[in-house]
């Protein structure tokens, strides 16, 4: 009976692998398009290329690493080094997703800074002040981006180094459990490269409990943090917009009938749509559930997480009119034809 269950789990792993490969292809195409365009059209995009390029690059790397781990499931089920590759690959993809989360928070904070700074002063004065502080903002931008990339990568290195040490001390005592494959999960299932499959106790050789819990807590806290921070920032930004929209500080051409929240909500909804199923899977992993019991939820998670890069490329880049106009060459560089910061334009114009 357990043998047939193990073979059924193998079929589920294969199905999930194909879902990841197919949907991650969309994210790779979307993220890569923004990266390529941001580099080729950098003179037309000017300052807006920096945050968009960073975000698209993080999504691209996360999707690429996750796709490689999914392809491992389809190429060969008995690679001796597949277990270690899966552990490293899945953790690295989560690190890049964390970079993407941090960049989304930075984008929200920069949007608030740009809007408030330009609304508190007359337009011409604000434009002159922005030019005077451009070099200072560039240095701050660079430092912020370096921190956003370094913190998750350092966390990944610490995780990998400590896991290797624990594996070296525990592997000799664990090896005998691999023998009776007909009495438990199959080798293919235990070596599978699928996000959040082996968090619960499924008789497979996994990392120690502390590291397994860190894989639960890390995505959970990261996703909740980015949702809460972005919601608070954009809500305050919408309140400021309502306060100033009936004054002379915002001209008729600068007003957006839907307000800032109508644009910012899509940025928040992308995170909720992509990671809510994964959070449910993580929460259920604290209970004893078989693969077949929550397989539909794993399918939804595979579809949603894999689409983050694709949806971000639409919401942050291609949906924006000023980005499309700059890419198509229909306007001069953004900082030349407008006295408004690009963060302000991205939130305060119809698509």
Query: In the chain, how many H helices and how many E strands?
Result: 14, 0
Dump pLDDT digits (tens) for 50-78: 788 999 999 999 999 999 988 888 876 55
pLDDT at 102 over 80: yes
What is the rounded distance in angstroms from the CA atom of residue 187 to the CA atom of residue 10? 9
- Name the pTM for this structure: 0.81
pLDDT tens digit sequence for 224-257: 999 999 999 888 887 777 776 655 444 444 444 4
* Helix, strand, coil percentages for the chain (3-state, nearest 5): 80, 0, 20
Distance CA 142, CA 293 (A): 47
Domain count, the chain: 1
State the Cα–Cα distance between residues 74 and 214, nearest whole angstrom: 28
Domain region containing 220: 2-347
Residues in the chain: 351
Q: What is the CATH number of the domain that holds 252?
A: 1.20.1070.10
The 10s digit of each residue's pLDDT in 282-292 is 888 877 667 77
From residue 56, how far is each of 20, 194, 288 by CA, in Å? 19, 23, 37
| Nearest to 340, CA basis, from 242, 264, 224, 251 | 251
Query: Rounded CA gap, 231 and 238, in Å?
Result: 10
Note the pLDDT tens digit of each residue in 123-163.
Answer: 444 445 555 555 666 677 778 889 999 999 999 999 888 87
User: What is the rounded CA–CA span in Å between residue 120 and residue 126?
Assistant: 8
Q: Are 129 and 341 in contact (CB under 8 A)?
A: no
């Amino acid at each position: 009976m357990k043998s047939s269950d193990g073979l059924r789990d193998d079929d589920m792993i294969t199905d999930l692998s194909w879902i990841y490969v197919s949907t991650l292809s969309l994210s790779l195409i979307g993220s890569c398009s923004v990266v390529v365009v941001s580099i080729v059209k950098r003179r037309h995009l000017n300052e807006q290329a920096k945050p968009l390029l960073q975000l698209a690059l993080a999504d691209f790397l996360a999707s690429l690493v996750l796709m490689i781990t999914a392809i491992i499931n389809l190429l060969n089920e008995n690679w001796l080094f597949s277990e270690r590759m899966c552990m490293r690959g899945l953790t690295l993809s989560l690190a890049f997703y964390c970079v993407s989360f941090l960049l989304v928070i930075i984008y929200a904070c920069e949007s608030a800074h740009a809007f408030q700074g330009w609304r508190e002063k007359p337009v011409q004065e604000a434009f002159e002040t922005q030019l005077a502080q451009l070099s200072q903002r560039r240095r701050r931008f660079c430092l912020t981006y370096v921190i956003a990339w370094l913190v998750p990568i350092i966390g990944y290195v610490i995780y990998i180094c400590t896991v290797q040490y624990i594996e070296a001390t525990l592997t000799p005592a664990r090896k005998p459990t691999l023998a009776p494959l007909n009495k438990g999960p199959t080798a293919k299932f235990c070596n599978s490269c699928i996000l959040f499959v082996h968090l619960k106790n499924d008789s497979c050789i996994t990392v120690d409990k502390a590291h397994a819990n860190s894989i639960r807590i890390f995505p959970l806290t990261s996703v909740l943090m980015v949702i809460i921070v972005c919601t608070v920032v954009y809500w305050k930004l919408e309140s400021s917009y309502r306060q100033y929209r009936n004054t002379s500080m915002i001209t008729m051409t600068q007003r957006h009938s839907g307000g800032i929240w109508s644009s910012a909500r899509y940025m928040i909804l992308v995170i909720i749509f992509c990671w809510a199923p994964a959070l449910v899977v993580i929460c259920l992993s604290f209970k004893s559930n078989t693969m077949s019991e929550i397989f539909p939820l794993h399918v939804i998670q595979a579809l949603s997480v894999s689409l983050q890069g694709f949806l971000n490329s639409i919401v942050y880049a291609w949906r924006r009119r000023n980005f499309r106009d700059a890419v198509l060459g229909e306007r001069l560089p953004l900082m030349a034809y407008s006295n408004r910061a690009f963060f302000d334009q991205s939130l305060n114009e119809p698509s």
